[in-house]
Amino acid sequence: MPAKPQSADKEKPEAKPGREGKKILIVEDERPLAHALELKFQHEGFDTTVCVNGKDALEEALKNKYDMILLDLIMPQMDGFTFMEELKSRKKNCQIIILSNLGQDEDRTRSKELGAVDYFVKSNTPITDIIKRVKTAL
Amino acid sequence: MPLEDVAVGQILVKQSYLSEEELQNALLEAKENKQSLINVLSGQGLITPSLIQGALAEHYKLEFYDLQTNPPSTEELASLPEAIARKYFVIVVEKKENSVKIATTDPQQENLEEVIRVNLGKEEAVFPEEESTEKKKEKKGEEEEKKSEEPKKEKGKEEKPKSKEKEVKEKKKAGGGFFGLGRKKAEAEGFKGKITYVFASKEGIEAMFLRYRKPLATRFQQIVDAEKEVAPEILVEIINDAIQLRASDIHFEPQGDKFTIVRFRVDGVMHEAGRIPKIYYEGVVNLIKIEANMRIDEHFAPQDGAGDELL
Residue of chain A with shortest Cα separation from B56: A126
pLDDT at A123: 76
Q: Is B153 helix (H, G, I), strand (E, B) or coil?
A: coil
Check CB contact of A10 with chain B, cutoff 8 Å. no
Q: Could you please report the per-residue DSSP string of B61-91?
A: T-EE--TTTSPPPHHHHTTS-HHHHHHHTEE
- Is A16's pLDDT higher than 80? no
| Inter-chain CB proximity B51 and A123 less than 8 Å | no
The radius of gyration of chain A from alpha carbons, rounded to an integer in Å, stands at 14
Q: Are B62 and B197 in contact (CB under 8 A)?
A: yes
Strands A68-71 and A23-27: parallel
Residue in A11, A33, A124 closest to B51 by CB: A33
| Cβ-Cβ contacts under 8 Å, A128 against chain B | 54, 58
Per-residue model confidence as pLDDT tens digits over A100-137: 988 788 899 999 999 999 999 887 788 999 999 999 98
CA distance linking residue B92 with residue B75, whole number of Å: 9
CA distance linking residue B146 with residue B141, whole number of Å: 9
CATH number of B74-124+191-210: 3.30.300.160
Strands B247-255 and B194-199: unpaired
Strands A116-121 and A95-100: parallel
| Inter-chain CB proximity A31 and B18 less than 8 Å | no
Q: Which residues contact B187 (CB under 8 A, 6 or more apart)?
A: B114, B117
Helix B49-59 × helix B5-14 angle, to 10° = 70
DSSP B159: P
Q: Compute the count of residue pairs across chains A and B with CB atoms less than 8 Å apart.
A: 38
At the topology level, CATH places domain B219-292 in: Beta-Lactamase (3.30.450)
* B65 Cα to chain A: minimum distance (Å): 10
A47-51, strands of its sheet edge to edge:
A6-7, A47-51, A23-27, A68-71, A95-100, A116-121
The radius of gyration of chain B from alpha carbons, rounded to an integer in Å, stands at 26
Q: Angle CA(B115)–CA(B55)–CA(A54) in degrees, nearest 5? A: 150
Predicted confidence pLDDT, tens digits, chain B (311 residues) = 667 889 999 999 999 999 999 999 999 999 999 899 999 999 999 999 889 988 999 999 998 888 877 889 888 998 999 999 999 999 999 998 899 999 998 998 888 999 999 999 888 888 887 654 455 555 555 555 555 554 444 444 444 444 444 444 444 444 444 555 555 555 556 888 999 999 998 888 988 887 776 655 546 666 666 766 677 778 888 888 888 778 899 999 888 887 888 888 877 777 778 788 888 888 889 989 998 889 988 888 899 998 876 55
Strands A23-27 and B99-104: unpaired
Q: Is B23 helix (H, G, I), strand (E, B) or coil?
A: helix
Residue of chain B with shortest Cα separation from A42: B16
* B41 Cα to chain A: minimum distance (Å): 10
| Inter-chain CB proximity A35 and B16 less than 8 Å | no
| Inter-chain CB proximity B47 and A127 less than 8 Å | no
CA distance linking residue B304 with residue A14, whole number of Å: 63
Check CB contact of A131 with chain B, cutoff 8 Å. no
Q: What ipTM was estimated for this complex?
A: 0.81
Q: Which CATH architecture has domain A20-137?
A: 3-Layer(aba) Sandwich (3.40)
Q: Which residues does B contribute to its contact with A (CB < 8 Å)?
A: 16-19, 42, 45-48, 50-51, 54, 57-58, 64, 66, 69
- Give this prediction's pTM: 0.63
Domain borders along chain A are 20-137
Q: Is B130 helix (H, G, I), strand (E, B) or coil?
A: coil
User: Quick one: what percent of chain A has pLDDT higher than 90?
Assistant: 66
Residue in B16, B45, B57 closest to A32 by CB: B45
| Cβ-Cβ contacts under 8 Å, B16 against chain A | 36, 39-40, 42-43
Q: Which residues contact A52 (CB under 8 A, 6 or more apart)?
A: A2, A3, A27, A28, A29, A31, A34, A75, A76
Average pLDDT of span A16-39: 87
Per-residue model confidence as pLDDT tens digits over A40-65: 999 999 999 999 999 999 999 999 99
